Structures are given as structure tokens and as C-alpha cells.
Amino acid sequence: MDYKSIAEKIIELKNTDLTLRDKLVQSGQLSEGYNEEMKKLHNKNAEILNDIIDTIGYPTIDKVGKEANEATWLVIQHSIEQPEFMKKCAELLEIAVSENNADPNNLAYLTDRIAAFEEKPQLYGTQFDWDENGKLSPNHFDNLTKVNERRKSIGLNTLEEQTEIIRRQAKNENQLPPKDFEKRKQEIEQWKKMSDGRNKNQFNRNEYLKAKEID
């Protein structure tokens, strides 16, 4: 198996993703919902990565190296219209982490993202969204003390410290809260009903939830 070529392909997927993100940041479009061009790219990247995983299994560090392993996680993290793919990868990533072949931080981020989309409490508090006061705050989590204990166990800073970092990053990137928070809430609920009717496996808020910790 030519793992080197596969690793290069995965890194290329990540770089294409981040290049588009930078373009949207520069044009001020990153906070304007789920950009159509970004959505198409995320879905395309997920499809390509899924084919790779079906061929070689999860791209672990021992197979593709650390950079491609990190890139794998980023593509999965951004595949928000592919809930079954995300869940499948979370199970594989958990195994890889247990074998010291992936970063436990990545598993924490992915686990939280799935929880946030399913409107369940986060375990690590890694996913953020705009609150009614126009500030980026962690999505619902179970207990601050427990969250910080879990974060510490995998080498993350406290949630309070990370919240300040996220808000500063958003300010530096000129990201702005929704102009009409109540309207946005209504749009989320409308999307939720549409998604429930169209595909019961679809994450309820995937077009509107903007997770901001690493993105």
C-alpha cells in the first residue's frame, strides 16, 4: 500500500479546506451562515476521505504520519452534513487513540462536535457558538468542574481560558455575531424541522451552528 501518496492526498484535502476558510475570513463571509462553497468542499472532502478509510482503515500515525493523521481529523470535523460518517470515524478514532496512534485532543473535539449537533452536553467544552449577548460561548456542557478535569487530563487549558482565546480570535478575524439573534434562532428551528422530516439521521443544526474553537 502506498501510504505516502495517501498521506499527501489527505494533507491536500486539509490545505484546500483551510485556504477556502482564509478566503472567507478575509472577505468577511465566515460568520454569514454555512457558506455554499464551503459546504460543497466539506462534502467532497468527506467523500474522498471515506473512500480512503474504506481502503486502508483509519489513517493512523503509524500508517500516514502525524501531519496526515491531523489532517484526517480536520476533514472529519468539518463534515457536518455527514453525521453517520462522523460517528463512524469517532469510533475508529477512539480505537486509534487507545493504541497511541492518534491525538486524544482530536477525539475530544470530535466527540463534542457530535454532542453539540445532537443537542447533548459536551464533555470537554470545545464547541462554541454566538450567545444572545453577541459573544462566543461554549455550547451546552455538563459540569464546569468535570469539563475542566477532562480538559486537564488531555493537556488542554481551562474552559475559562479557552473562552477568552476564542473571543480574541473572533475579534482578530473580524467575525461578527448574527445581526438578529431571534431571527437566527427561528431559522435554526426551521432547519431542525426540515432536517427531521428530510433525514432523521441529519444533525439538527448543521447549517447554522458555528463551532469556533479550532474550526
Per-residue pLDDT of the chain (215 residues; tens, 9 = 90+): 899 999 999 999 999 999 999 999 888 777 667 889 999 999 999 999 999 999 999 999 999 999 999 999 999 999 999 999 999 999 999 999 999 999 999 999 999 999 998 999 999 999 999 998 999 999 999 999 999 999 999 999 999 999 999 999 999 988 888 877 777 667 666 655 554 544 444 554 444 444 444 45
- Backbone angle region of 209, left / alpha / beta, with phi > 0 → left and psi within -120 to 50 → alpha: beta
Backbone CA torsion sign across 51, 213, 110, 155: positive
Q: How buried is 86 (Cβ within 10 angstroms: 0-12 exposed, 13-18 middle, 19+ buried)?
A: buried
Per-residue confidence (pLDDT) for residue 213, from 0 to 100: 44
Query: 183 vs 132, 165, 179, CA distance in Å?
Result: 11, 27, 9
Q: Hey, where are the domains in the chain? A: 3-198
Find the angle CA(97)-CA(101)-CA(107) to the nearest 5 degrees: 35
Can you read off the three cell numbers belonging to residue 168?
Answer: 480574541
Sign of the four-CA dihedral 169, 173, 179, 181: negative
Give the residues across from 137 on adjacent strands. Answer: 129
Q: What is the pTM of this model?
A: 0.86
Residue 86 to residue 77: CA distance in whole angstroms? 7
